[in-house]
A and B are shown apart, each in its own frame.
Chain A
């Protein structure tokens, strides 16, 4: 069974631009979560989607948004990029929420210049 895939793997953008990241979960997984990973902050929860609905949201500004499609694939969008948005963005999927562990993709490395 294929793992979680994320595209693109690397992105370089300039301040003020916007970016869209994509995540394809493991087949059959309906829950997709997004995290921002930085050296000083660890993993910060962005949001979680289940059956195309956002179920949870972390403490990030409204510039960060996401959505989930009927096939469980998910996208996250960051508008008006800031230097501080440079990070590794990780997507994770699980069968359902609760007791299930999450399976992580390799991440998208975003660099904002």
Chain B
């Protein structure tokens, strides 16, 4: 069975500093990985995805994520945090080798707080 873990409930970072939101996954084969963001009182928005190719993926709002197969991780990063980045971030995984139509499994979410 596939699973995804976000080990930190909350991440605090000062504005202007680099940020990292951690995600590790478990699937039987090569995963499809996604990051979504949920701003207060709004639905989830897609940030970026890794399907294949370059391990460093760039997405919306200056975010990027690095796929590390040996560590089964897909950490979300941004070089310089903004107060407006404060939100709830979800990592998600889909196992394309599980056969048929595969469901997406989401992590429990990490609250990012950027301090002015």
Query: Which residues of A line the B interface, CB within 8 A?
Result: 4, 33, 35, 41-43, 45, 48, 50, 55-56, 58, 90, 92, 97-99, 101-107
> Nearest A residue to B94 by beta-carbon distance?
A98
Contact between chains at A103 and B46 (CB < 8 Å): yes
- What are 19 inter-chain pairs, A to B, with CB distance below 8 A? A42-B90, A42-B107, A42-B108, A43-B44, A45-B106, A48-B103, A50-B101, A56-B101, A56-B102, A90-B43, A90-B44, A97-B102, A98-B96, A98-B102, A101-B34, A102-B36, A102-B44, A102-B104, A104-B45
Contact A101 B108 (CB under 8 A): no
Cβ 8 A contact of B109, one of A42, A48, A102? A42
**Contact of A107 with B34 in the complex, beta carbons under 8 Å:** no
**Minimum C-beta distance from A103 to chain B (A):** 7
Chain A nearest CB from B11 CB (Å) reads: 16
Main secondary structure of the interface of A (DSSP, over half): strand
Q: Tell me which residues across on chain A come within 8 A of B34, comparing CB atoms.
A: 101-102
Contact call B103/A98, Cβ cutoff below 8 A: no
In the assembled complex, which residues on chain B have CB atoms less than 8 Å from the CB atom of A4?
A: 43
